[in-house]
Structure 1
Amino acid sequence: MVNIDDLKKSHDIRGLIRLLDHGNSDIQWHAADALGNMGEPACDPLLRLLDFPKVNVRLGAIDALGEIKSPRSVDNLIRKLKDDTDDEVRWAASIALGQIGDPRAIPALEEALKDDDRYVRYGAIKSLEMLNWTPSDETSRAYALIALQDWPAVRKLRSAAVRPLIDINKDPNPVTRTKIVEILGEIGGPDAKKACERALLDRDPGVRWKAVFACKRCGVDTDRIPVILADRPRTIPSAFGAAVLNLFFFGSGYSYIGKWWGILVFLCYVGVIIIIQLNWDVLFPYMYTYPFTAVFAVQTYYMVKRMPDM
């Protein structure tokens, strides 16, 4: 029977450290909390655990070091924040640096605002706030607001937010990438336009779908959209997405589901629209094609539903 209180009263640092690798997660975290109350005597043994192969042990050591708040652990925690391959360990290191409150951590925490993982970025900005950090310019402010996921405030920065948004668009979470593409489409500009085009190749269908509308707002030529989509990594297509694409950009829905002739259908569709515009001076020729394309949108929806992969 494990009695952490007894180990704590007897200052058994070795015994508590062994419990960081216990099979029960509650015991792990109680042991880490007890080590955090040990103060400086536990610091050196905990620092030696920062490169331990098991993630839960590294996390427990970092949590305890954050409670001890020894300035001696700052450099090692900065190294973990920069170099550890585990997202959760980098997140824990960012939080611990804020708890310690040493200004030496500020440059590393600023760099962590560009981390791929949104939790690491959030931990970094919260720690920077604890260190009374303020952004040096609008670009730094954009990284901070993205880390907080304060999207309305990011929008207000306009062009200053474009480069930070592009940098963070490698986030593995598709919800974050979708929001970034949406904002880039609203801001516009050459860099945003290129980023929206690249988003058409995203592995997530939701991001690609949002990128279609972002590309239109950024001024990407309509006939380029299905061409770029045709080069995307292949995934299981969305029946609804293919149907909507064929409704508004007839032919592109077929390209989306991998039909090589979809681009030919789309180009013919664009040609018909141009002919109508030139010969009949119709203000919105697309409106007259929707009853026709709606039929094919329904057909596309059920076509995708019948595909073997679906």
Structure 2
Amino acid sequence: MKNIKKELNFFLKLSVLSFLLVLNLTLQLAAQEASQPPSENKAAETDEKKKKEVSEFEEKRDTILYGIGDDILELIKRLKADEDDRFDADLQKIFAETKIPAIRDALFAYFAEKKNDCLKADALMVLENKDDNPQETVRSAISYIRELAIYEGIDSLRKILKDEESEYRDLCISAIGKIGKPEDAVFLTELFDSEASDDEKKSLIIKQNIMFALEELHTPEIRDFLIRVAEDTDENAIIRGTAVSALGKIGDERAIPILSEIFEDKDPILRTAAIKGIAGFKDAKAKNIMIQAFKDSYYKVRLQAIQSAKEEKAEDAVPFILYRAKKDPENTVRLAAIEALSHFNNAEANEWLVDSFNEEKTGLSLRLKIAESLLKNNFDIIYEDVKTAALKAISEKRKNKFSAELGKVISTVENKGTAPIAEAYLNHKDPIFKSIGLDMFKRNRYAELIPLVSLIAEDEKNGALSRRAKDLLQLSPTESKTGETASQSQAGNTNSPQDNQTGK
């Protein structure tokens, strides 16, 4: 028994000595680390961060230069989503070298969306040699030419239509409507009149597409043609309606009696088209027709009246739009009216919009629409109310849906005044709210929130959020989308939210 006690005492003393030894070593290491100047610690962290950024940059570049097709396609999607343009020169080079049609198609779409004409020569070459390229690549090239309005491609587009190559017909018609000149509009009217397909449905689609293109061109050279089609009661209603709308866009007041007569038609498609066409005219008869459109029994006519009044900045239409926002039986019309009101900055309308946003009984969709519309078009009217609502809702679990949806709306607004809201979302424990906060940061590049986003990036426990934060910091972390440099941001943004308006 005594031997056992001796052994226990021995092991106890040994354990205590071991603990003291480990503790002493730990204290020494901590002292050594603490003795290092803070600047050296910070420099080491900065160097490590730079190494990670360089590594991830090189990884993406290596994918472009050496990756297989699927990897490159996936990266193109990612770069597009992140609005990352650091690799555009490499992607342009890949386009010239690749033999994979899907990559060429993806790059046409990628640069078309960015309005970058770096593939202009390639697109024209594809059209000139369309028989040597896959159909999808030809279609992508036509879409690229349309989006960038490359008029040099017009002869190729017209040739394809003359040759009646149906696989490209609709795209070519649409492209001519976007980039064409008066002589091209005349060409389309001749194509319309010569259309004689045996397939009635196919013929109708072709003629409708031609008319949509002519509406976009709306040149005076085709006025007589449009009148003829608009007055042709045997013609399809959609085709007639598009001719009516195009006729109004030309701006010739001689069209008012025709548009007035068509507004009395029992077909709501034609009444809608008449309102679309007559909106630009300022005489008393045209204005009276517009007023009647706000009371039309068919909701699409009311929608068009709201849209036309907004486009024409018709201040005298505000009372009618406000009534639609308050009372219309169709939610679609109410939402459209709310969006239109946000453009007018009318005192009565603004008061109703703010009061309705703050009233929970208003309904989620309407409250969100009010916030979205005013934040984009009249920021200072609603910002403080939105900030108060967002910060309150994010702290109440029962309002998770509202706070998440409101956060998504705020993330679409380009205005650095939303930084306090973004900070609250980034600090939230829920990954969903953190992600919404990153959406806000992506949109506005708040200089003061870079350290907070860096913390999310450095914490590997955040998983996908960590990787996304790293990507956002790499995307020119010292430069905003609007071109504001880091030196400007770090110098201090003392403007109020009102001073930061971008929607006006």
Per the shorter chain, which TM-score range? 0.3 to 0.5
Larger Rg: 2
TM-score, normalised to structure 2, is 0.27
**Structure having the larger proportion of residues in helix:** 2
TM-score, normalised to structure 1, is 0.41
